[in-house]
């Protein structure tokens, strides 16, 4: 008996990840860079999927996949986080468990190696959902969360991106190097485990030259991240202000719960209709309780990957 096939068939597990919506223009992408991005996605996908295959929880799987991308310098989260308008890194992250609706979130933290680990620890070890800044950092210290010095987060490319706009009043999504080349940063993962539990996790460095103290959609439960066993798990990437105003992740869940839409109908409506109408560029990854996967975006591309319930793997950057 082939254990792996048996597991895949019986377990009904699946996972999807993203490394940001909007991408470097295809014309500017080199083979080497593309191979690097794909490796970052592949590694993160494998780590999360292995946990699910071994019978682990979706919560552990999404945490592990996001942590892997936080450690990968090309993605705008953790180590690869962009600079804010003071030349510092302020990171946001959140995680949610669909079985219990428990959630953990953190915003505007510096020097935390893996903000997603901190978000999960807040969920599991504090009576709160959301901690920010020094309070979150103090909680991190007390709970043995790993810190790194500023040098760990320094990256020449990110520094140049900041230098180009630092004296202006503008802020930009990761890798916007001209009006036509936008890349949204942020990483995220959604998963369904063998017990039928859904989880979602998202982590970001935000936007280059963002105002000190600015918080995007990523750590906001319901905007950038949401999971509910009755409906779906969602992780977003894109222009955070518009995603907050559209309460994107919860909206997708609500359209399923209250309007009876399928996952793909709900995602399509939010990404290609509601968001477009208010100028919200970006994308989402989502999985429903039946292991259906949706990877949808209204930008030029989205770094994305998934393994479906039949064990079929998919990795892509641009529109097909």
The residue ranges that bind ligand ASP (CB under 6 A) are 20, 76, 173-174, 184-186, 204, 206-207, 216-218, 237-238, 240, 243
Nearer to ligand ASP, 78 or 289 (CB): 78
Of the candidates 176, 186, 202, 237, the residue annotated as catalytic is: 186
- Closest distance between ligand ASP and the C-beta of residue 109, in Å? 14
Cβ neighbours around 116 below 10 Å, total:
31
Any residues with CB less than 8 A from the CB of 94 and at least 6 apart, and which?
Answer: 103, 104, 105, 106, 119, 201, 202, 218, 219, 220, 221, 224, 225
Q: Which helix (H) or strand (E) holds 203?
A: strand 198-204
Q: Identify the residue whose tokens are 């995220």.
A: 188
Rg (the chain; Cα; Å): 18
Strand partners, 312: none
* Residue whose beta carbon is closest to ligand ASP: 240
The residue among 8 and 202 lying less far from ligand ASP, judged by its C-beta, is 202
CB of 266 to ligand ASP, least distance (A): 19
Verify whether residue 237 is a known catalytic residue. Answer: no
* Least distance in angstroms from the C-beta of 108 to ligand ASP: 11
Contact 48, 17 (CB under 8 A): yes
Q: What is the DSSP string of 25-60?
A: -GGG--HHHHHHHHHHHHHHHHHHHHHHHTT--HHH
Minimum distance, C-beta of residue 57 to ligand ASP, in the bound complex (Å): 25
For residues 80 and 240, which CB has a smaller minimum distance to ligand ASP in the complex? 240
* Minimum CB distance to ligand ASP smaller for 11 or for 242: 242
Q: Where in the sequence numbering do the catalytic residues fall?
A: 186
């Amino acid at each position: 008996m082939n254990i792996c096939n048996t597991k895949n068939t019986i377990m009904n597990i699946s996972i999807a990840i993203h490394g940001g919506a909007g991408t470097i223009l295809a014309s500017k992408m080199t083979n080497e860079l593309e191979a690097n991005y794909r490796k970052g996605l592949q590694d993160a996908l494998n780590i999360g999927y292995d946990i699910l295959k071994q019978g682990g929880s979706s919560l552990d799987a999404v945490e592990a996949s996001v942590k892997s991308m936080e450690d990968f310098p090309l993605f705008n989260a953790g180590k690869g986080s962009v600079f804010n308008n003071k030349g510092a890194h302020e990171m946001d992250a959140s995680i949610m468990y669909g079985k219990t609706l428990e959630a953990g979130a953190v915003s505007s933290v510096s020097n935390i190696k893996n903000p997603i680990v901190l978000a999960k620890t807040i969920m599991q070890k504090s009576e709160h959902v959301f901690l920010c800044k020094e309070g979150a950092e103090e909680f991190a210290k007390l709970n043995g969360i790993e810190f790194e010095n500023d040098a760990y987060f320094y990256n020449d490319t990110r520094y140049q991106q900041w230098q180009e706009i630092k004296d202006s009043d503008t802020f930009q999504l990761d890798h916007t190097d001209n009006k036509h080349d936008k890349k949204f940063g942020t990483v995220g993962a959604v998963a369904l485990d063998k017990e039928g539990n859904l989880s979602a996790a998202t982590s970001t460095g935000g936007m280059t030259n963002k105002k000190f103290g600015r918080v995007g959609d990523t750590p906001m439960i319901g905007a950038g991240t949401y999971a509910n066993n009755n409906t779906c798990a969602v992780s977003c990437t894109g222009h955070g202000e518009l995603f907050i105003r559209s309460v994107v992740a919860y909206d997708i869940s609500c359209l399923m719960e209250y309007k009876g839409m399928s996952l793909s109908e709900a995602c399509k409506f939010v990404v290609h209709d509601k968001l477009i109408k208010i100028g919200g560029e970006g994308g989402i990854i989502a999985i429903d309780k039946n292991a259906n996967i949706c990877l949808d975006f209204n930008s030029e591309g989205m770094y994305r990957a998934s393994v479906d319930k039949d064990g079929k793997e998919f990795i892509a950057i641009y529109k097909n």
